[in-house]
Structures are given as C-alpha cells and as structure tokens.
C-alpha cells in the first residue's frame, strides 16, 4: 500500500545519462557529484527529475566551514532538493594528515554525539531544506565506543530533529558481521525518523573475506528486507537504488529500480 506514496529512484550516473533521460518508472535521482560543466544531458535530467542532494559536504565531527556551507546551499538550490543528505562519518584526521577516502563511522561516544549534534544543528540553521543523515556500517568494533550505534543515532535525531536516511545494505552487513538476524538488528534503529531508504546489492570481497557494499543489483533477500523495513518506516518518502559507479550498466540500474518498485 505504501508504494503509491513512495518515490522510487536511483543515483545519477553521468555515463548512463542518455538512458536516464529516456527511462520510465524512475521518480528521482540522487546526486553524488555536481553535474560536469559540459554534461549534454544535464538540462533534460534537471527538468525531468526530482533531484536529491547526496554529495560529500563535510564530516560533522567538526563544524563545516563557510566554503562548505556555501557549496551545500548552492547545490541544494541548483537541484531544488527536498532534503539534504550527509553521513554519520569521520574519515579524516582533525589535522587533515590522514584520510581514508571512504565512509567510516565515528566512535559512538558522548563526546562525538555532542560534536555531531552541535555541528548538525549549525548546518541545519544555514540550510533552507531539512537535513537527513545516513548510517554507515562498521566492519570492526572500536573498543572506545560507549553506546550501541542505534542508541547513539536515536539520541542524535532527538537532539537535532534531522531525518534518517536508512541504508539497508549497511544494516544488513552489520547484522551479518555481528551474526544476528537483519530484522532484529533493524528493529533497534529509530525507524520512525526515516525519510529515505537506500537499497543495493552486496558482493563478496577478497580483502574482507566476506560480503560488502557494491554497485550491484539487490538480491531477493535484500528486497524482502526492504519491504519489511518500509512497512516499519511510517514517514518514508523515497527508496533509492544506491549504486554510483562507472562500472554500473543501464540494465542493472533500470531492472533494479523496477524490482524495487515491484517489491514495495
């Protein structure tokens, strides 16, 4: 019953722009990067789709500087985005010397909670759209963490009023590596805050010796998990096929969006 209310979309992959301009059944596109200056398809994409700002704006363990805020405002205006997304991540050191260039969660501690709440509130005060924050999976636990991730997230949302961008493969992977059932782990999270859901596949990775995030089609199991999650997220407005990669084919993108829609 929720399918009529939910937008179903994907990420804007510029190498698939020609297909996306003609595609049927896609309600929105999430924008991970600004459009290239001479992207010939951008005007048609912008005119046709609802666009969601999903760029790297900065890590909220520190306050965003003016340059980053101006950039966020400018992109939000360009896309006319209904909300602005960022991640619960802390991927470079405070002095900028080390950077892992990949989403990585903060320590789930009181100090980091305070940092994220303060800096998210400051960012929200400068935005004209609501802020939504995406959960990031941990491949290993750091012993200095003090709170379970779902509790930390709940308190963040209580302290900011921000929306929750629920990434389902991230939940699924954490459940896998904790050896718990995905549905049980999902139930711990503040699902009443969810505005948007991300869905994608996972693949085996040789370095990790286990499954990890990939720009791949969601499995039937993941789609069932998505249907369960959507039924528990009363305020959800959109489901996005979360794949952004030059290796992504139009067939995988279009068929994944279609299967997501059929599963809702």
Partner 1 sequence: MSDREIQDSVIRALADAPFRASPDWRGLALADPTRLERFARFLARHFYHERLVHFFKYSRALARVTGRRPDAVLPGFDALLPTVVLGSRETARAVAALAVRHVRPASAPQTIPYLADLLEYEEAMMIAEAGPRVWRDDAREVIARSREQFPPEKVEGTVLLDLAYDLPAVLPKLLQPWTEVPQASPQHGRLLIARSPHGRVTVARADAAVASVVELADGRKTLPELARETGLRSDDLEATLAGLADLGAVRFATGS
Least separation in angstroms between CB 58 and partner 1:
8
Least separation in angstroms between CB 231 and partner 1:
33
Coil, helix or strand for 10?
strand
Least separation in angstroms between CB 38 and partner 1:
10
The residue among 4 and 67 lying less far from partner 1, judged by its C-beta, is 67
C-alpha span between 194 and 164 (Å, rounded): 4
Residue 93 burial class via C-beta count within 10 angstroms: exposed 0-12, middle 13-18, buried 19 and up: exposed
Which residues, at least 6 apart from 154, have a Cβ–Cβ distance to it below 8 Å?
Answer: 189, 190
CA 247 vs CA 23, 161, 196, 212, 220: distances in Å: 19, 37, 25, 16, 22
Least separation in angstroms between CB 26 and partner 1:
26
Report whether 216 contacts 201 (CB < 8 A).
yes
The residue among 93 and 231 lying less far from partner 1, judged by its C-beta, is 93
The residue among 109 and 121 lying less far from partner 1, judged by its C-beta, is 109
Q: Of 50, 36, 44, 47, which Cα lies nearest the Cα of 18?
A: 44
Cα angle value 8/9/12 (rounded, 5°): 175
Q: What is the DSSP letter of 51?
A: E
Question: DSSP labels for 161-210?
Answer: --EEEEEHHHHHHHHHHHTS-HHHHHTTS-GGGEEEEEE-EEEEETTTTE
The residue among 90 and 253 lying less far from partner 1, judged by its C-beta, is 90
Least separation in angstroms between CB 119 and partner 1:
12
Cα angle value 179/102/70 (rounded, 5°): 130
The residue among 119 and 256 lying less far from partner 1, judged by its C-beta, is 119
Residues that bind partner 1 (CB under 8 A): 58, 61-62, 65-67, 90-102, 104, 106-107, 109, 111-112, 115, 139-144, 205, 207-209, 212, 246
The residue among 47 and 209 lying less far from partner 1, judged by its C-beta, is 209
Least separation in angstroms between CB 205 and partner 1:
6
Least separation in angstroms between CB 124 and partner 1:
19
The residue among 187 and 203 lying less far from partner 1, judged by its C-beta, is 203
């Amino acid at each position: 019953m929720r399918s009529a209310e939910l937008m179903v979309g994907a990420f804007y992959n510029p190498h698939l722009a020609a297909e996306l301009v003609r595609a049927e059944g896609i309600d929105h596109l999430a924008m991970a990067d600004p459009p290239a200056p001479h992207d010939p398809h951008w005007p048609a994409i912008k005119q046709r789709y609802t666009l969601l700002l999903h760029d790297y704006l900065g890590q909220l363990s520190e306050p965003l500087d003016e340059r980053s805020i101006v950039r966020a405002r400018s992109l939000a205006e360009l896309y006319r985005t209904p909300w602005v997304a960022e991640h619960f991540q802390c991927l470079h050191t405070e002095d900028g010397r080390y950077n892992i260039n990949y989403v990585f969660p903060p320590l789930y501690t009181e100090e980091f909670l305070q940092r994220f709440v303060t800096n998210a509130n400051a960012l929200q005060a400068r935005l004209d759209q609501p802020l939504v924050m995406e959960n990031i999976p941990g491949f290993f636990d750091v012993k200095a963490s003090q709170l379970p991730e779902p509790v930390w997230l709940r308190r963040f949302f209580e302290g900011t009023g921000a929306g929750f961008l629920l990434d389902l493969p991230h939940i699924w992977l954490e459940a896998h590596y904790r050896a718990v059932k995905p549905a049980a782990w999902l139930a711990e999270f503040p699902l009443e805050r969810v505005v948007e859901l991300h869905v994608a596949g996972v693949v085996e990775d040789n370095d990790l010796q286990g499954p990890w995030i990939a720009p791949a089609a969601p499995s039937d199991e993941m789609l069932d998990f998505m249907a369960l999650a959507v039924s528990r997220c009363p305020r959800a407005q959109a489901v996005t096929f979360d794949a952004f990669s030059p290796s992504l084919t139009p067939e995988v993108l279009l068929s994944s969006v279609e299967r997501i829609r059929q599963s809702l």
